[in-house]
Chain A
Amino acid sequence: MDKNRKVEISVKDLTVSFRTTQGMVRAVRGVSFDLYKGETLAIVGESGSGKSVSSRAIIGILAGNAVIDKGHIIYEDQDLTKIPEEEFHKIRGNKIGMIFQDPLSSLNPIMRIGKQITEGMIINGKRLKNRYKALIHDEKMKIINAKLAIQELQRQYEMNEDPQTQMSKETFKQKVQEIKAQMPAYHKALRAKSVIAKKQVKAEYQAQKEKTQKAINELQPKFKSAQESAANSKLGIQKAVQETKSVYQKELLDLKTAYAGVTEKEKRVEFMTKQKSLKASYNEKLKEARAPYTQAKANLKSARAAIQHEKEMLRRFVKVTKKEAYERAIQVMTEVGIPEPKKRFKMYPFQFSGGMRQRIVIAIALTADPEVLICDEPTTALDVTIQAQILDLIKKLKDERGLSVIFITHDLGVVANVSDRVAVMYAGKIVEYGTSDEIFYNPRHPYTWALLSSMPDLNSSDRLTAIQGTPPNMLFPPKGDAFAERNPYAMEIDFKEEPPIFKINDNHYAATWLLHPDAPKVDIPQLIQDRIKRMEDKSKEMMKHAK
């Protein structure tokens, strides 16, 4: 594969099972893929093929009964399957964001939109506290790792029933004791460090506070003088205002007496216009008279605002304030294309349409500036027109922010639109992966064929070939190729042995025995060949038009 590009997330041989009363359900059985920086990887498959489960494993939100049997998810040199929950808080949402399938059920119906968007920012935004936690992080991790090591030992001891390699009870106990012996030292170090860290953070805060106080002190005289001048000018203008008022009243009275008792329409109109102009000129004069006061008031306001700003900055040093979160929320909402974000901020989810709700969900994911975005069927619950808008939005955001996207869907039309590379999943395994061009123009796995041919095409009315049967029950994963039972091209070996992944070219791999050199040659089904030909003709034509 492309070795020059940076790998963002690398999933290696991931295996996830769910503990149920009937037994272990093997949802994901050895999935490996790399997500490169700035690309979109689409995972396609039927429901129950394990595509959602693998993405949830990446972000660490598997259900309680899920077990990661083996495998690694490497992100920034860390194994996400191993790190403790505390560590995960830093990654989930902040580094890897997720958009869920149903925008209606992923938003809280009795909470205003604004609160839902700012919630995460405010909860995660306790800056001083985070600083303190970061300072004592190393010491804390030592303790947690020691605990994990003991657990791991125990698991190894219990799981391994082979008498030859099994460690004896003594060695196990000894090893545990060794680790446990170091614990008091770790705890002591943590206590010592936390005292230091507390002091340090406090000192930092004090320094900032003093700085702010100094700035405020500098601003204070200006504020005081502004206050004074405002008070003075208020007294100063009173006389002038009074004068203009009395002049106006006199003039008005004169006018009224001059036109008293007049009933002719023309004269009345004349009176009205005169009265109006009189009022207008009075307002003008009043404004003039008040001008010094208004000026002083504005000065006072700006001086007060400057002090407020300093105070706000101090508060922002401690945590993400509501104001800061509001500003950020409005910014993100504008980015995802919500009109009138200030008004929308105060609304409830039911007041939004489906597309708008999905935009809100995307906005929530974007507030933390993630580098990787996992979209779990973001358009399945939406209409065609809205779907097109959301897809365009995701593509735009990806280009603007340089996001890497994992896009999970079962709609192949959507896949062609958004993805750079495609992985087709079936029964917990990736059966074919490659660039989207390769997958759509040169599909090799019978399951990909079946998926493609069960989709209605705009330009033909051939009979669709439905996939016979249903996906296998993952309580009892089938021996051999999982798709063999539904596969018209299945050979004997498919029922006996699992196919390895065959390389077709540098950008295209598939797991099917049909690619084995000894296998009989099977062509791509006629239906798909026809369609590919049509697609090629069409895109050629389009190219001509574009030129």
Chain B
Amino acid sequence: MPNSKNVILEVKNLSQHFKTGVGKNKIYNKAVDDVSFKVYEGEVFSLVGESGCGKTTTGRTIIQLYQPTEGEVIFKGVRVAAGFRELKLKRKELVKEGNLEEVKKIDEEIRARKEDNKKNNFELMKKMQMIFQDPIASLNPRMTVKEIIAEGLRIAGERKEDVIIKHVNEALETVGLLPEHATRYPHEFSGGQRQRIGIARALVVNPDFIIADEPISALDVSIQAQVINLLNDLREQKGITIMFIAHDLSVVKYFSNRIGVMYFGKLVELADKEELFKNPLHPYTLSLQSSIPQPDPRYEKIRPPKIKYDPRQHDYSVDKPTLKEVTPGHFVYCNDKEFEVYKKKVAQNTKNA
């Protein structure tokens, strides 16, 4: 459970649009659109959704593998990434009007944001690390395990070989591998061990915050449990905050404190895990929950029918939806009319309980 209510990461109106095509055929693919959330220190925050809904893009934007289109990422109170497309558009208009003073102000703002994006602050940035989805593709086959793990240290400025070896061995031990594994190459390991190497690479710089991008979906059942247990231990022993990206709701429910549900680039629901499973409000969350397979044949025979989510069921033609807080800590993406309905529903549910 989160020890404190200290915000470690804040994402404000983050958007990530990908541009494809030229001229007439130019298309903006809104992979992430206006997503805001906070991650508290020591907790596990999960993002779930179907493939292509933008959860991985969110993670990669936070750690600055992409330059955000719009919005800000604030890590430990420092802005580490910011987008400025809207400012640029505004500037264009102002230049047309001839309001030069305002233009100057905006120029300064853009310059400041660009400066923030340059990742000058190594000490801060190395506190944020990522574990990638595919343990086979994310490890360089030509590097030994030691080189893979030490790469982060070297980039952060460590030059002494003995210190590097010490850190590498420590990291290997934490994830349950042996120091003699360091001289081997990735192909000599099994899937679960490779994922451990990926975790060791993230851990070697002593991070406070880890983004785990589907770390278990490429693994076997028995090995999944090993990795989940390892991540659980890390959280308990080192107090590392984890942002967990997955599409398997039963794993997410088991592992995390708070859950955000994403659908086509939007954060549609955000709540504590108990709250989310007790009072699911957004229809997409309902459909996700109704389709979890249970390891129980008797239940499966009589289970309620699965709900299909159709985004056309919302009428957003007049009233535009936003992320609204229905009960404290429980946010739903809806418009005013739906907001009232959801509120009633929660009241009803608590009454019944």
Contact = CB atoms under 8 A, between A and B. Distances in A.
B292 A458 contact: yes
A410 B253 contact: no
Interface in A42-62: 46-47
A385 interface: yes
Interface stretch (B157-165, B299-307, B345-353): B299-307
Contact of A458 (B224, B287, B294): B294
A461 B253 CA distance: 9
Contacts of A457: 250, 254, 295
Interface string B215-244: 000001111111011001000000000000
Contacts of B224: 454
A86 B232 CA distance: 56
Interface stretch (A258-266, A301-309, A368-376, A412-420): A412-420
Nearest to A470: B190
A546 B305 CA distance: 12
Contact of B296 (A388, A416, A450, A543): A416
Contacts of B251: 456
Given A454-B225, A458-B250, A383 B294 contact: no
A452 B295 CA distance: 8
B302 A542 contact: yes
A452 B296 CA distance: 11
A384 B288 CA distance: 7
Nearest to A46: B220
Contacts of A456: 225, 228, 250-251, 253-255
A100 interface: no
A387 B50 CA distance: 11
A280 interface: no
Nearest to B277: A458
B287 A440 contact: no
Contacts of A414: 293
Given A539-B299, A542-B302, A546-B302, A465 B225 contact: yes
B328 interface: no
A385 B287 contact: yes
Given A456-B228, A456-B251, A466-B222, A385 B295 contact: no
Nearest to A384: B291
A466 B225 contact: yes
A463 interface: yes
Interface size class of A (residues with CB under 8 A): 35 or more
B247 interface: yes
Interface in B278-336: 287-288, 290-300, 302-303, 306, 309
Nearest to A385: B291
A354 interface: yes
A464 B225 contact: yes
A437 interface: yes
Contacts of B87: none
B291 A413 contact: no
B136 interface: no
Given A456-B251, A456-B253, A467 B299 contact: no
A436 interface: yes
B221 A455 contact: yes
A411 B254 contact: no
Contact of A535 (B225, B277, B299): B299
A281 B248 CA distance: 66
A451 interface: yes
A546 B249 CA distance: 25
A535 B296 CA distance: 7
A412 B222 CA distance: 11
Nearest to A422: B297
B297 A413 contact: no
Judged by DSSP, the binding face of A is helix
Contact of A454 (B222, B255, B300, B306): B222
A470 B193 CA distance: 10
A481 B220 CA distance: 21
B220 A410 contact: yes
A538 interface: yes
B99 interface: no
Interface in A385-415: 385-389, 391-392, 410-415
Interface string A507-544: 00000000000000000000000000001101100110
A365 to B, nearest CB: 22
B88 to A, nearest CB: 34
Given A450-B222, A466-B222, A413 B293 contact: yes
B294 A413 contact: yes
A463 to B, nearest CB: 7
B308 to A, nearest CB: 8
A542 B51 contact: no
Contact of B250 (A385, A413, A463, A538): A413
A437 B300 CA distance: 11
Given A416-B293, A535-B296, A385 B222 contact: no
Residue of A391, A457, A464 contacting most chain B CB atoms (<10 Å): A464
A7 to B, nearest CB: 22
A411 B293 contact: yes
Contacts of A466: 222-223, 225-226, 229
Given A388-B306, A417-B300, A451 B222 contact: yes
Contacts of B294: 413, 416-417, 458, 535
A250 B277 CA distance: 78
A450 B302 CA distance: 27
A383 B51 contact: yes
A436 B228 CA distance: 27
Contacts of B302: 539, 542-543, 546
B298 A437 contact: yes
A413 B288 contact: no
A421 to B, nearest CB: 10
Contacts of A546: 302
B293 A385 contact: no
Contact of A387 (B221, B225, B293): B293
B199 to A, nearest CB: 14
A423 to B, nearest CB: 15
A392 B299 contact: no
Interface of A: 46-47, 354, 383-389, 391-392, 410-417, 419, 436-437, 440-441, 450-458, 460-461, 463-467, 470, 535-536, 538-539, 542-543, 546
List the 6 shortest-distance A-B pairs measured between CB atoms, nearest first.
A413-B293, A456-B254, A454-B225, A388-B291, A466-B225, A467-B222
Given A388-B306, A463-B229, 8 more contacts: A387-B291, A440-B297, A441-B298, A452-B295, A455-B250, A457-B295, A458-B277, A467-B222
11 contacts: A384-B249, A385-B50, A388-B290, A416-B297, A417-B300, A454-B221, A458-B254, A463-B232, A466-B223, A470-B190, A538-B296
